[in-house]
Structure 1
């Protein structure tokens, strides 16, 4: 589970930084600040959940060299999760990896005006790959190619949610404009 103290440790520098920026840059936009914070905290959320080990029990056969534990076979751990006897394993592994990167897929086009699928997908893949490489050096974590697949899928799904959000807000604005024009 996420340690709330670690989130607070990342929130305080963000608040101090944005306060200093605001002091020197007078125009203040809540929308802009929200977009920047969404991107920043989606990265911090990913970092907190993937780099800091979960307090789950580590089975003795899972301890060892991270290079021995790595999975380079696509869909191997996904298949293992789906065939596991306990329903929470696929939910936590597959669903968790996808949900973890969805906020990032939503935040990238908001923050950087990047709306092309392949660009957002590459950014999500790069961030996921970076996390997986860092996990090689953490004793109870390991590199898993399936995490790359699921995290990238989560980034794509976040982009899809973003595009749906834009469609809904545009159609609501158009409907409001049409309603206003018909009343006059």
Structure 2
């Protein structure tokens, strides 16, 4: 029971971390408030950051969005046995990310971006795969 409660707490913490960093950004973490807007063109922001900003901005945005959702995917796999394959984890991660982006539409100075959904979904899948791989190695 204690192990189950610990898993629940870790999963909740991963969700709260994502919400904290996406809804209440801090410029000290490299997640600043912008002018606000929406981008529905896949890979537009990634290209813009790569070709019109510093390479560190490109890396921070892309890797940051992936890493942000890694714990969510990891604890998702640990917590929910019915999410038993990568496509299901992608769907849950995408759903969570889309919800965040929809909320950001109505927040001042927040940017809603399809690229964030793509990167967050990838992060969820990587976190899920990491858990499954470590679990497999442990069983072998």
TM-score greater than 0.5 by the shorter chain? yes
Q: Which has the larger radius of gyration?
A: 1
Q: TM-score, normalised by structure 1?
A: 0.69
Superposition TM-score, scaled by structure 2 size: 0.89
Q: CA deviation at 1:86?
A: 2.0
Shift of residue 57, structure 1, vs aligned partner: 6.1
Counterpart position of 1:146: 115
Aligned to 1:87: 55
Taking the aligned partners of 2:55 and 2:89, their CA distance within structure 1 comes to: 31
| Counterpart in the other structure of 2:4 | 32
Q: Please, which runs of 5 or more residues in structure 1 have no aligned partner? A: 1-27, 172-184
CA RMSD of aligned residues (A): 1.6
Go from structure 1 to structure 2 and tell me whether the alpha carbon gap of 1:85 and 1:77 turns closer, same or farther (over 3 Å shift). closer
CA gap 1:93/1:166 in 2 versus in 1, 3 angstroms: same
How far is the alpha carbon of 1:164 from its aligned partner?
1.1
Q: Secondary structure at the match of 1:53?
A: coil
1 or 2 for the larger relative contact order (CA 8 Å, sep ≥6)? 2
Q: Which runs of 5+ in 2 are unaligned?
A: none
Moved more, 32-41 or 127-136: 32-41
